[in-house]
Amino acid sequence: MKLNSSTLKLSEFLPYRLSITSNLVSRYIASAYSERFGLTIPQWRVIAILGEGIEQTSKGLVDLTKMDKVAVSRAVSQLVTKKLVRRIAVQTDGRLALVRLSKQGKDLYEEISPLALDLERKLLDQLSDQEIQDLHKILDKLGHSVPEIQV
Amino acid sequence: MKLNSSTLKLSEFLPYRLSITSNLVSRYIASAYSERFGLTIPQWRVIAILGEGIEQTSKGLVDLTKMDKVAVSRAVSQLVTKKLVRRIAVQTDGRLALVRLSKQGKDLYEEISPLALDLERKLLDQLSDQEIQDLHKILDKLGHSVPEIQV
DNA sequence: GCTATTTAGTTTCATTTGAAACTAATTACA
DNA sequence: TGTAATTAGTTTCAAATGAAACTAAATAGC
């Protein structure tokens, strides 16, 4: 394969290819969550993090989801409205609120997470285990190569 | 490395990782084009395609950039305003207009394309040639794994 | 030839997104 | 202590995005 070193071809330009593929995957995943559970990707990410542990502050969610604080703020508000999470004030620091899955939220998490893993499996179906490992490693490296705010 | 087969961890969930990394890369590239040339990513993609050949219809640009026709329509209009491209009516088919780089557009292309390759090189700096080839192959496979509209 | 369908491209409108400003609380430190 | 700086989180406003409706031209099928 030509390593695109001196001539520019958009179809082989990696930032372009990465963006196209990622958007394709995101749209696929987003439509599954939206159709089946009425969730947006930011909402789903918040639920996924909360499902992994007990609770998080919004700041914790920002760090763990890599979304910006506006996106997290909105996703949490929407999830509160849907009664999937609750906000719990912290006595010792009035700026903080812990976010925690409600019973309904936990049930939803239990229902979605197998689907998510299944979607991932379908997506990675054509890749060997080696390629999946390679991809993780490559994404790590790319993340570290981008100046400024890293993954 | 754990292959994430039965438990869900967002930080290892590939659709998520792909999206985060791709957005990071896109933001990095977008800010370079915007700061130095006042171009958006869609505008840049149109110029990149036109720089590879002589001219294209908007439909051709849609197919080659994988952007939707609204995005292409807007990018072309903006580039016409900036006098970087011209629209040329087609005598034999009144629906079509060919889009072609102006002299200024060509000059800009000549200036940007080395920068683009340079940004790509910086980004891929930590990857071996083998890994770069792997990444291309993996993106191909992922694109084909997504149901419906493929890359 | 004449109507129906398809195709190219644009416009409209509603939603999403993100930067910047803002509020409220905490911490630093003179 | 009291003021300045920092931190958590929300709101506001403007720009980007995308689906759907629309215009105009070409093609298909009768």
Residue-wise pLDDT tens digits, B10-29: 999 999 999 999 999 999 99
| pLDDT tier, B149 (very low <50, low <70, confident <90, very high otherwise) | very low
The pLDDT-based confidence of B39 (bands split at 50, 70, 90) is: very high
pLDDT band (50, 70, 90) for residue B59: very high
Domain housing B96: 13-119
Looking at residue B147, what is its pLDDT?
Answer: 75
Å: A90 CA to D13 C1': 31
Closest CA to A141 of B22, B138, B125: B125
Instruction: Identify the three-state secondary structure at position A131.
Output: helix
Tokens 């952007």 -> residue: B67
Protein residue nearest nucleotide D11, by CA to C1': A70
Residue A132 lies in a domain: no
Residue A83 within any structural domain of the chain:
yes
Give the model's confidence band at B151: pLDDT under 50 very low, under 70 low, under 90 confident, else very high. Answer: very low
Residuewise pLDDT in 10s, chain A (151 residues):
545 457 899 999 999 999 999 999 999 999 999 999 999 999 999 999 999 999 999 999 999 999 999 999 999 999 999 999 999 999 999 999 999 999 999 999 999 999 999 999 999 999 999 999 999 999 999 999 987 544 4
* Residue B49 vs residues B63, B66, B101: alpha-carbon distances, Å: 11, 11, 10
Mean pLDDT value of segment B104-129: 95
Q: Do B14 and A142 touch (CB under 8 A)?
A: no
Q: How far apart are CA B142 and CA A125, in angstroms?
A: 9
In a domain, A80, yes or no: yes
Distance CA A24, CA B41 (A): 17
pLDDT at residue number A149: 44
d(CA B18, CA B143): 12
Asked, for residue A149, whether it belongs to a domain, the answer is no
- Residue listed under structure tokens 């930080």: B11
B147 token code pair: 């149901």
Strand pairing partners for A55? Answer: A100
Inside any domain, residue A85 = yes
Residue at B44 is within a domain: yes
The answer to whether position B142 is within a domain reads: no
- For chain B, give the secondary structure using H, E and C: CCCCCCCCCHHHCHHHHHHHHHHHHHHHHHHHHHHHHCCCHHHHHHHHHHHHCCEEEHHHHHHHHCCCHHHHHHHHHHHHHCCCEEEEECCCCCCCEEEEECHHHHHHHHHHHHHHHHHHHHHCCCCCHHHHHHHHHHHHHHHHHCCCCCC
Looking at the 3D structure of chain A, how many domains does it have? 1
Give chain A positions within 8 Å (CB) of B106.
Answer: none
- Does A115 contact chain B (CB < 8 Å)? no
Q: What is the mean pLDDT of residues B90-98?
A: 93
Flag whether pLDDT at B2 surpasses 90: no
> Which position has the higher pLDDT, B122 or B148?
B122
Q: Does residue B19 belong to any structural domain of this protein?
A: yes
CATH at residue A62: 1.10.10.10
